[in-house]
Amino acid sequence: MKFLPRLRIKLRRLKKLAKSPLLRKLDLLHESKRKRVFQESCEAYQMQIEDEYEKASPIMQKIKLPYSTRERFLYDGTFHEAVGRVLLIAQFFAMMPVYGVTSKRPSNLQFSWRYLRTCWCLIFIASSLVDLGLSLYKVLNDPITFNSIKPIIFRACIFLVCVYSLNLARKWPKLMHYWDQIEQDLPQYQTQTEKWQMAHTIRMTMFVGMMLSFAEHLLSMLSAVNYSAYCNQSSDPIENYFLHTNDEIFYVFHYSNLLAVWGKLQNFYSTFIWNYMDIFVMIISIGLASKFRQLNDNLKKFKGMNMSPSYWSERRIQYRNICMLCDKMDNAISFITMVSFSNNLYFICVQLLRSLNNMPSIAHAVYFYFSLIFLIGRTLAVSLYSAWVHDESRLTLRYLRCVPKESWCAEVKRFSEEIASDMVALSGMKFFHLTRKLVLSVAGTIVTYELVLIQFHEDNDLWDCQQSYYF
């Protein structure tokens, strides 16, 4: 409220650069009067804005537009719509087998054990279990070290996430219904760009994540080809390659092309799922943070104005609803968050341990550093996106601090006290909350570990041919 006129004075001053004190006094007088009038007409202003918008929207919808823009205009801005294609891609990789993810309304969502996608998912889970068993058998026959259990950790995480995502798929229709109910209650978006925003962020996250993951997989294949040539166990280069990348299979069975293809597919799918679980946490975080932002945008528009208690009461209930949504989603995905975080932490530590050793070849070095940077970047991205939910939920308080004295009422008080005392954030099974402070403490832990490692480093030759190659 107070800053708008001030900014204008500031701008005017920049232009004129000189003004007599008398003029300034008069200005101030004028300002204060204008301000009073302004405050009285706040409510009127709000109505007018909403009226204008309502009149404008049907007109806008009639205009013929080019495809991509038109698609944007058909958007309702719901999370269900935004997340549809992302889930569709996940379903190709045997995750989240829910029917109707791309439909317009969440009411079409359905889960059934008899759908093809569910069966596909079950088959992959079975296949993962076999792979995990083979890895376990191989690892337990050698002495166990921090480095050698890498394949087990990797495959166990994949298996757990797959099973858990099947479970989540069953609850998904209900969750989306609930989300939809809360979304319909929130203050309306004013422009199509705002509506489009969340969906755009979600899709870009998915796209960039997938591209990088694909690039990493290609590099890993290149490096594996190189590696298998270096310590070759067989004359056939292709056989050689598979003997390395799926050593857990051929530790038990003799080489066969069918098994090699199965191993390859399993690896490809595992890599996708390994990346997808991080992306999934990011997407949910973006969804939740966007809902808080939608509320905050509304509060920002009326910041410092004299609003009625009913306005505040409505906002408080909306805030409470998003909090409850946050809590519900956290309960639903916190296991995945937990697995994703501990997995990332473990892999960063192992990779840093390996980084101290000499690389066998340039291809390895390139792949290794790309994969390390990708890993750290991904972990940071998950952390920051999920901390965004907490940050955005605290931001609301800033607008409440600017409520003028005249419209300070019991409702605003209750609202601000609730925000100040509540902890709204995604969590890892309630053991830790995902905030920016967590990022620091995790980074601190890794740096300390790395420092100790560097200080007492001896070359342990972790790149010997005996070691499992593909994670």
List contacts with a second copy (CB under 8 A): 2, 6, 10, 13-14, 17, 107-108, 145-146, 177-178, 181, 313, 317, 320, 323, 349, 391, 397, 401-402, 405, 408, 410-411, 413-414, 416-418, 420-422, 430-432, 436-437, 439-440, 444-445, 448-449, 451-456
Residue number, 240 or 321, with CB nearest to a second copy: 321
Q: Which residues sit opposite 99 in a β-bridge?
A: 110
Sequential DSSP letters for 166-216: HHHHHHHHHHHHHHHHHHHHSPPPSSHHHHHHHHHHHHHHHHHHHHHHHHH
CB of 317 to a second copy, least distance (A): 8
Residue number, 115 or 255, with CB nearest to a second copy: 115
- What whole-number distance in Å separates Cα of residue 339 and Cα of residue 246? 24
Task: Evaluate whether 106 touches 176 at the Cβ level (below 8 Å).
Answer: yes
- Block residue for tokens 């605290």: 394
CB of 401 to a second copy, least distance (A): 6
**Residue 132 burial (CB < 10 Å; 0-12/13-18/19+)?**
buried
Residue number, 204 or 452, with CB nearest to a second copy: 452
Return the closest-CA partner of residue 264 out of 308, 217, 226.
217
CB of 376 to a second copy, least distance (A): 15
Return the closest-CA partner of residue 269 out of 91, 112, 84.
91
Residue number, 115 or 178, with CB nearest to a second copy: 178
CB of 460 to a second copy, least distance (A): 10
CB of 454 to a second copy, least distance (A): 5
Residue number, 250 or 415, with CB nearest to a second copy: 415
Q: Which residues contact 417 (CB under 8 A, 6 or more apart)?
A: none
CB of 60 to a second copy, least distance (A): 19
CB of 435 to a second copy, least distance (A): 9
Return the closest-CA partner of residue 201 out of 288, 271, 272, 276.
288
Helix ranges (H only) for 356-468 are 362-401, 410-421, 436-455
CB of 344 to a second copy, least distance (A): 15
Residue number, 51 or 185, with CB nearest to a second copy: 185
Residue number, 107 or 257, with CB nearest to a second copy: 107
Residue number, 378 or 433, with CB nearest to a second copy: 433
Q: Which residues sit opposite 427 in a β-bridge?
A: 433
Task: Evaluate whether 339 touches 160 at the Cβ level (below 8 Å).
Answer: yes
- What whole-number distance in Å separates Cα of residue 182 and Cα of residue 325? 8
Q: Which residues contact 88 (CB under 8 A, 6 or more apart)?
A: 101, 102
Residue number, 62 or 405, with CB nearest to a second copy: 405
CB of 432 to a second copy, least distance (A): 5
